[in-house]
Amino acid sequence: MGPQRIRRWESGALAHAVTDPFGQGPLPWLRGNEMYFDDTGRLVPWYVDPSPQTLPGTSRIPAPRASEGGPRSADDVHRQIKGFISTDAVTPGETIDFHITVDPPQQFSVDVYRIGHYGGDGAAKITSSPRLPGIVQPPPLTAGRTVSCHHWWLSWRLTVPSYWNVGAYVAVLTTANGYRSHIPFTVRDDRPADLLLLLPDLTWQAYNLYPEDGRTGASLYHAWDEEGRLLGEDDAATTVSFDRPYAGAGLPLHVGHAYDVIRWAERYGYDLAYADARDLHAGRVDPTRYRGLIFPGHDEYWSVNMRRTVERAREHGTSLVFLSANTMYWQVELGPSPSGVPNRLLTCRKRQGPGRPVLWREVDRPEQLLLGIQYAGRVPEPHPLIVRNADHWLWESTGVKEGEEIEGLVAGEADRYFPRVPLPEYLDRILLAHSPYTDAAGVVRHQDTSLYRAPSGALVFASGTFAWSPALDRPGHADARIQRATANLLDRICKRD
């Protein structure tokens, strides 16, 4: 397939953002510049470095350490500061290895934040590193389209104290001259909890185009040609590595979806444990120990182990809550890094070359057999969610009426019930929204929100839209009706009603 004319908002770390108005989410420290592409897909090598603007309600976030004039976002061409961790989710007492490049070489620091409500701040600074010496690390290694930085030297080792709370964390990297980048990571433990929140790190990595330099970077969606133009999915990588930074500002596409859920859930005091999708794949967490599993954001890439483990949890009586759409669409494999570290390479052939299909629905394991609905398509412009079965307990105390429209709640991508696709076994099943929208071709389609009770008693909820998570705690998108409905669901799961 030849080069595509991909505009800048359809490329790189912003891939699919044109259909996802909720791509990043309000992170108080993330207000920097972007990489820009002209209409031919060529990189435009200029950067604007404005001082970050303060978002409403975020004034209590500690000011970042930076030079006069405010922080500036690092980019993948100049690599002012970029980094990754070579460890998966960690438990208190374990260490996190940071691999960081700084160009030009200079001192840098690492401030670690934990995502949460924190009185409306959205995050709290937990610790800071001393000033660290920065070096220019070697260029990324490439094998075909696969990009890896596993050969970078260790820059800093952080031992996670035993008193740290489990949760989603972000390391904020700042150079002496004020450039900034980020590294997300997860702290988990084995303590009992009502709900286990699973961060979709496989999907985050699938979209990662690092480095967005017009030459080297590749994701499962894009790569570059020799003239610096973006190629489409047929020419993209089939294997991507976790041993590299995230493109752009260093945070994954759609990371804000998970952070929206976390802020809301911690605000209302839900008892949460945390883990990554790779923890589920590797068997490091036992989901049957929890009353419910929460999948908070876009979670498109699943391994066989992940699906088997979640299906066993449902059969055991553990409820499942899917707060996005296009879940479990691609089947993937995880492999070791060149040095033998397990689960550092993510492989998904998509439709490249001969072999078995990798869509779950094409191997007679459609998503609907687990979720109750499955992926239908993209939603070019937000549409209202149309309430159905308003007398159901999920809508209790929300004030909604049958057929009521909740504006903008069908957005990004949508799922629906497919009548010709098998359903899971259930004791009872109901659709709680049935919403028409117009796709990119002008065809009217429908989105569904689904809930069923498995024979084990487990509840399985699927929102069927990208916009559900932002409606929980995103400024400008929060909706009291969705907040109440989600609370009704989690309360019932936690009480095992």
Quote the pLDDT of residue 353: 62
Pairing state between β 43-44 and 72-73: unpaired
Q: pLDDT-based confidence at 118, cuts 50/70/90?
A: confident
Q: pLDDT-based confidence at 43, cuts 50/70/90?
A: very low
pLDDT at 73 over 60: yes
Report how far residue 302's alpha carbon sits from residue 360's, in angstroms, rounded to the nearest whole number.
9
Place of tokens 């060529």: 42
Q: pLDDT-based confidence at 159, cuts 50/70/90?
A: very high
The structure tokens listed for 439 are 């796709």
pLDDT, the chain, mean = 86
Report how far residue 198's alpha carbon sits from residue 204's, in angstroms, rounded to the nearest whole number.
13
Contacts of 6 (CB under 8 A, 6+ apart): 37, 41, 222, 229, 230, 232
Quote the pLDDT of residue 431: 98
Q: What is the dihedral of CA 493, 192, 463, 441, to 10 degrees?
A: -160
Does residue 145 contact residue 233 with C-beta atoms inside 8 Å? no
Residue 210: name the closest of 367, 122, 84, 383 by CA: 84
pLDDT at 419 over 80: yes
For 368-381, what is each residue's pLDDT tens digit? 999 999 999 999 89
For 314-333, what is each residue's pLDDT tens digit? 999 999 999 999 999 999 99
- Cα R_g (the chain), whole angstroms: 22
Least confident of 22-36, 201-215, 427-441: 22-36
Quote the pLDDT of residue 367: 97
Does residue 128 contact residue 110 with C-beta atoms inside 8 Å? yes
Q: pLDDT-based confidence at 59, cuts 50/70/90?
A: very low
For 210-240, what is each residue's pLDDT tens digit? 998 888 999 999 998 888 888 888 889 999 9
Does residue 386 contact residue 26 with C-beta atoms inside 8 Å? no
Report how far residue 117's alpha carbon sits from residue 488's, in angstroms, rounded to the nearest whole number.
20
User: Which residues pair with residue 107 across a beta bridge?
Assistant: 133
Looking at residues 168-186, what average pLDDT do you find?
93
Quote the pLDDT of residue 349: 83
| Helices of type H across 356-479 | 368-371, 470-473
Residue, of 222 and 36, whose pLDDT is higher? 222
Q: pLDDT-based confidence at 19, cuts 50/70/90?
A: very low
Quote the pLDDT of residue 42: 39
Q: pLDDT-based confidence at 442, cuts 50/70/90?
A: very high
Q: pLDDT-based confidence at 311, cuts 50/70/90?
A: very high
Residue, of 213 and 343, whose pLDDT is higher? 343
What are the distances in angstroms from CA 481 to CA 275, 391, 406, 449, 468?
Answer: 28, 14, 8, 14, 11
DSSP structure string for 62-91: PPPP--TT--EE--TTT-SEEEEESS-SB-
pLDDT at 386 over 90: yes
DSSP structure string for 282-349: HT-S-GGGSSEEEE-S---EEEHHHHHHHHHHHHHT-EEEE-SSSTT-EEEEEE--TT--TT-EEE--
Quote the pLDDT of residue 173: 94
pLDDT at 259 over 50: yes
Residue, of 338 and 316, whose pLDDT is higher? 316
Quote the pLDDT of residue 275: 97
Report how far residue 366's alpha carbon sits from residue 488's, in angstroms, rounded to the nearest whole number.
28
pLDDT at 286 over 80: yes
The structure tokens listed for 334 are 């995880």
pLDDT at 174 over 90: yes
Coil, helix or strand at residue 379: strand
Least confident of 78-82, 104-108, 473-477, 479-483: 473-477
pLDDT at 50 over 60: no
Q: pLDDT-based confidence at 91, cuts 50/70/90?
A: very high
Q: Which domains does the chain have, with CATH numbers?
A: 8-241 (2.60.40.1930), 286-329+367-495 (3.40.50)
Place of tokens 């500002």: 249
Place of tokens 């989603």: 168
What single letter denotes the amino acid at residue 467? A
Does residue 71 contact residue 174 with C-beta atoms inside 8 Å? yes
